[in-house]
Amino acid sequence: MHSTRHRDIHWPHLPTRREALCVGGLTTIGLGLPDLLGRQEQAQAAAPNLLSRELGATFGRAKNCIFLWLQGGPPQHETFDPKPEAPVDIRGPFKPIATTVPGTHFCELLPRTARHAHELAVIRSLSTRDDNHDVSGYWLLTGYPYGPGSARQIKPTDWPYFGSLVKMLRPSEKMPALTSVWLPDVMRLNDNVTPAGQTAGFLGKQWEPERIIGDPAHPEYHIEGFDLRGDLSRERLAQRQQLLGHLDGTSGNWRSAEATQTWNRLSAQAFDLITSGAARAAFDLSKEPDRLRDRYGRYTWGQSCLLARRLIEAGVRLVHVNWPREPGDSAVDNPMWDTHAQNADRSQDFLCPMFDVTFDALMTDLRERGLLSETLVVVVGEFGRTPRINPVGGRDHWGHVFCAAFAGAGIRGGSVVGSSDKNGAYPTTEPITGSDFTATIFHLLGIDPHGMFYDKANRPHPITKGEPIAGILGTSSFTDLANPGGDINFVPPYDGRQLVETRFDSPQPLIPCHPSLREKGWRADPLSGPWQVQKDERGIFIGSVASGELSAKLAAVLAQEIRNARGGDYTFSIEVTGEAASTEEFEKFVTAHLECRLALVRFRDTKKDPREAIILGSEIFKPTFGKKQVFSIHRFLGSRGGGNNFPIGNGLGVLVRIEKASSGICRFPGRVGLRIHSVELNFSPVPRDEMNDIN
């Protein structure tokens, strides 16, 4: 495992950087990097190529692979298999759109991806029949079903991750030590559980993928392990290499002549990995133009996909890009693509803007560089989501049918394989299994899925028991393109702001609290009458706009949902001024009769009416006439651990509420109330427990 400077994470079960890459740690006995590379070559030489005769030109068509793992389980209805004829509580609020393939439709949340449909092969009948992250994901990542029991704990007897077999059977010619790379973090379930299926298992740790842990979007992203550190100059490194050769020559017959020759050649590869600077250069995102980095997206997922392209361009065989966890999501009810709550909101505001923008950038970049024809791109999650939407607007785990997409080398673009029923609940064609899924990847990378590999005790094991998915394989291009639909403005690039319009300086009007609408912004009530909430060029005014009476029950609210709320500490602040004809009038009517509150809330249902929201915390504030003041409320909204998830539910929000606190009728002489000039929301996420890593 390698880590970045700004986030140094150590993995107890893996070789340290010194053991794995620092040449000063290579020894003349035991298993060093050359031994590891030598075992790769032996395994590769032993692999038969039977499928090259059976499925023709697509065998080995892919020189490399970018594997995009949408951890959590993306909803099939909101991605590649919309169901517009289903009831609304199944189809959801979004519509299908046309793609570049006549008759093929995606959800409108993927307008950019729809433009690449002619380059994609979409599978709509993938099935594991298991609704657990760990077990369903295990099958897709290893090609073998897990069982019996739970796969939430990694065991040394686990079946190897398919990338470990790629490392063994199809090492990179350019950088064999970096054949299989995993970015930017390991798979983590809630409470930082690291499930099985992502390690080399019974093959042993020498076949682990190189896990590069860190955020490529961080300005100080840097990979340790590829640098010559301290006093180890290139000259001293060369001296050590000469000494190693001398010791090999005087160590008797402990190696055969052939083994010695292999050792020498692979030792040179190991030294070259560090001295040539090729690996270090591949990880240097600063070499990319700012325009291209912006196009991929300046967030972890976007920059990880850009880094994946750089790595396969440099010679890495397989790059696994894991959908990253977000700060504060380790114990909430909708982390990553695991949208048990707010499926529509998460998909529209966060997940699809990231995926759609970045996937479009990756596909375009690969094509323009001439890499798409030799690169396999795979998109999948561990399962799909339930057809029926639950009471908190979420979709739950569903392994009975879900989707995957393939593109690039050896893929028949424009194809759709398999189908689901009218509700997107079960396959209506033969289910495609995790074994078939991995068999297809092996086949395209030139590894016979019907072949064998050997464990540490030299015992043979079948690579898979599945069959390559023939319907998605091909070498011809799809040419009968249609005009795609969709509106990219409906899914703009990801915006990380938790609140929109904090200074009230846009022309966007206030949104009524009822009826329920999907517009994002400030909701207010009432918006008319003598007592109301107004927006103008100076901010938000709440109060009386004309002479009249205020009853004991009347209140005014201004609220906004927190976009992509996670668990942690929240501080909501407003800058406010009391407004009236005079100090006396303000104190007589506002100070004497009104109660002003700031609140953090959870919406009661999917209508998200702030007037009916559940108060999670509130603070009274008392504005002063003619004086700008800042008032704040601070609350921790999250889980303290212990296996309990914090419910985001139907969403969290901020609220300003002004209501009459005195008894009887209050008569206002004219315009009197308070002016909100700006607001601010600060968030500090719950720290992740870094002690629970793969071991």
Q: What is the dihedral of CA 10, 11, 17, 19, to 10 degrees?
A: 140
User: For residue 318, what are the contacts with CB-CB under 8 A and spacing of at least 6?
Assistant: 64, 65, 67, 163, 166, 167, 179, 180, 181, 209, 445
Q: Which region among 187-201, 248-262, 325-339 has the lowest average model confidence (pLDDT)? A: 248-262
Query: In which band, very low, low, confident or very high, does the pLDDT at 476 lie, cut at 50, 70 and 90?
Result: confident
**Could you tell me the CA-to-CA distances from 103 to 42, 68, 99, 141, 419 in Å, in that order?**
48, 26, 8, 31, 14
Q: Is the pLDDT of residue 433 over 70?
A: yes
Residue 272 or 571, more confident: 571
Which two three-digit tokens encode residue 626? 């003619």
Better-scored residue on pLDDT, 22 or 358? 358
Distance separating alpha carbons of residues 613 and 625, to the nearest angstrom: 30
Polymer length in residues for the chain:
695
Q: 3-state class of 407 per DSSP?
A: strand
Q: Is 412:476 a contact under the CB 8 Å cutoff? A: yes
Mean pLDDT across the chain: 87
Name which of 525, 619, 623 is nearest 572 in CA terms: 619
pLDDT digits (tens, 9 = 90+) for 492-550: 999 999 999 999 999 999 999 987 777 889 999 999 988 899 999 999 999 999 888 77
Q: How high is the pLDDT of residue 522? A: 97
By the 8 A CB rule, do 693 and 595 touch? no
Return the pLDDT at 191: 76
The Cα–Cα gap between 577 and 569 comes to 26
Q: Is the pLDDT of residue 690 over 70?
A: no
Rounded to the nearest 5°, which phi and psi values hold at 496? -80, 0
Q: Is-contact 111 484, C-beta < 8 A?
A: yes
Residue-wise pLDDT for 612-631, tens only, equals: 999 999 999 999 999 999 99
Q: What is the DSSP letter of 327?
A: T
Phi then psi for residue 402, to 5 deg, are -160, -175
- What is the pLDDT at residue 251? 45
Q: What percent of the chain has pLDDT over 70?
A: 83
d(CA 586, CA 624): 8
By C-alpha distance, which of 217, 406, 441 is closest to 318? 441
Band of pLDDT at residue 147, cut at 50, 70 and 90: confident
Which H, E and C letters describe 222-277, residue by residue?
A: CECCCCCCCCCCHHHHHHHHHHHHHHHHCCCCCCCHHHHHHHHHHHHHHHHHHHCC
The encoded tokens of residue 666 equal 């209050």
Residue ranges and CATH numbers for the domains of the chain are: 2-386+401-459+467-472 (3.40.720), 511-685 (2.60.120.260)
In 10 A of CB 86, how many CB atoms? Answer: 18
Contacts of 583 (CB under 8 A, 6+ apart): 625, 626
| Six token digits for residue 230 | 């301290």
Output the six-digit token pair for 409. Answer: 């080398």
| Pairing of the two strands 523-525 and 531-536 | unpaired
Distance CA 97, CA 561 (A): 28
165 has pLDDT over 70: yes
Average pLDDT over residues 236-244: 55
Listed residue (426, 381, 377, 434) closest to 75, CA to CA:
381
C-alpha to C-alpha distance for 28 and 240, rounded to whole angstroms: 11
Residue 606: pLDDT above 80?
Answer: yes
Model confidence over 633-681: pLDDT tens digits? 999 999 887 668 899 999 999 999 999 888 878 888 889 999 999 999 9
pLDDT exceeds cutoff 50 at 596: yes
